[in-house]
Amino acid sequence: MKYYDDLRSFIDALDAMGDIMHVTREVDCDFEPSAITRRSYEIQSPAPLFHHITGVESGFRLFGAPASLSSRSDMPYARVAMSLGLAPESTGLEIVEALSAARHKPGIPPVRVESAAAPCQQNILRGEQATLDRFPIPFAHDKDGGRYANTWGTLIVKTPDGKWVNWSIARVMKVDGKRMVGLIVPSQHIGQIWAEWVKIGEPMPYALVQGPAPAISCVSGIPIPAHADEADYIGTLAGAPVEVVKAVSIDLDVPATAEIVIEGHVSITRDCQEGPYGEYGGYLGSGSSAQPTFHVETITYRDDPIWPMSITGRPTDESHTLWAMGLAADALTYLREAELPVKAAWIPEDSTVHWLLIVMPENWRELLPGVSSEELSQRIGEVLFKTSAMVFIPKVYVVDDDFDPTNLREVVWVLSTRVHPVGRRAVFEDQRVIRLPQCYEEEEYVAGKGAKVVFDTLQTTRHLHASFEQGYPQEVRQRILDNW
């Protein structure tokens, strides 16, 4: 296993295993990089690295699909695993377990280095020179409200008293060279911190970090508890502290090896229209909303910087790999803390983060004597739907462990044959609903309330599968395999 402390060493490692597609011809920055990246997701090709983009300084590059499925069929989750310092052949369930396990280990705080040792400050732009127009920011989709300056970068903010520092991913749209507008959801951690600045009537300092160490981007995109510092959690995953440097113009520390850092302040009112944007559910956006303005004041960057991007849409992109694994790890952590003997949790990529599978071991009834499967499903829903991350999940399936939950073909077979048409489900009415899940009615989005459900698919008696593995004697199977 190896931890990559900057984006460049990670790209080199992917390149060495044949998982980078070098796009050396000049591409039009409007749509070509995004369209190529989107197609790379849909055909599971190597990740595209764009070397020549029309209208920007020579040497500036774009990198697409940083944590999607690998083009290597023998290690499909390699990009996510390697980002987190895990072996490239790690399975999806192993990644979820690692993310959950790290929640229970002591955090390793970051260490500050001097500016001279920080590659992210090799070049410094101030005042009118600090303009987004210098950088290759494409339209993600042709129906979007503008060019999206953040799809895979880390936003760094902290509370006015400095006690809580938050690193997160949120979509941010470019307005012009000096302004951006970002989606700030009140219930999310960045929204909670922004609200504290609004209370005291002062604009919130922010740093938007493009291309830090891959683990930073990944952890910024998954749920961890409020008031926990992502930097400390990343240190735990890496086994060493993250190196940070003081930002040039604001009182924040930023990752020292980042490619680009944008510094400034966020307005205290929702004074600019953001959106629409094509989201992870797989549909192009159709609406916009008033959101705070991110004013650009200073930009620092490495020589020949690389701007990473995630072009969300139909499966499979970073929303359906990394973010889904993070949500599954969050669910797994809370259920085990509630002393429920859950074996695994998994969100199938093709469900676009609308299904969560909770896998129970064969002996769960022995571990929970006197508890029926209906009662277990009710308990699972009561635990999960109290957590903030589960606002994104409308449907939970409690399943046996007699199949591979990461194999979509097996998932469809199990859900088709074990979900009762009418009964065996726990329905939770009046749960919090936001617009990102795509399965609700307009009146439910307006009210912010809707139903969520836990389906009980657990078998009373385990049935043998009509399969090669379970349908024939072992000696027959072995003879066939030996002569295949």
| Active-site residue list | 279
Strands (DSSP E) found in 114-201: 123-126, 148-150, 154-158, 165-168, 172-176, 179-182
With 0-12 CB in 10 A as exposed, 13-18 as middle and 19+ as buried, what is 483?
A: exposed
C-alpha neighbours within 13 Å on the C-beta side of residue 392: 25
446: number of Cβ within 10 Å: 10
Q: Which of 196, 199, 197, 237 is nearest to 97 (CA)?
A: 237
Quote the CA–CA distance of 358 and 405 in Å, as a whole number: 9
Quote the CA–CA distance of 175 and 132 in Å, as a whole number: 10
DSSP 8-state code for residue 221: T
Helix axes 92-102, 324-337, angle to 10 degrees: 60
Residue type, 450: G
SS3 call for 279: coil
DSSP 8-state code for residue 470: T
Quote the CA–CA distance of 201 and 268 in Å, as a whole number: 7
DSSP 8-state code for residue 46: P
> In sequence order, what are the residues at sequence separation of 6 or more whose Cβ sits closer than 8 angstroms to the Cβ of residue 369?
none
Q: 240 with 109: CB under 8 angstroms?
A: no
Which is it for strands 306-309 and 61-64: parallel, antiparallel or unpaired?
A: parallel
CA angle 12–13–19, rounded 5-degree value: 90
Which is it for strands 449-456 and 395-400: parallel, antiparallel or unpaired?
A: parallel
| Distance spanning both ends of the chain, measured CA to CA | 34
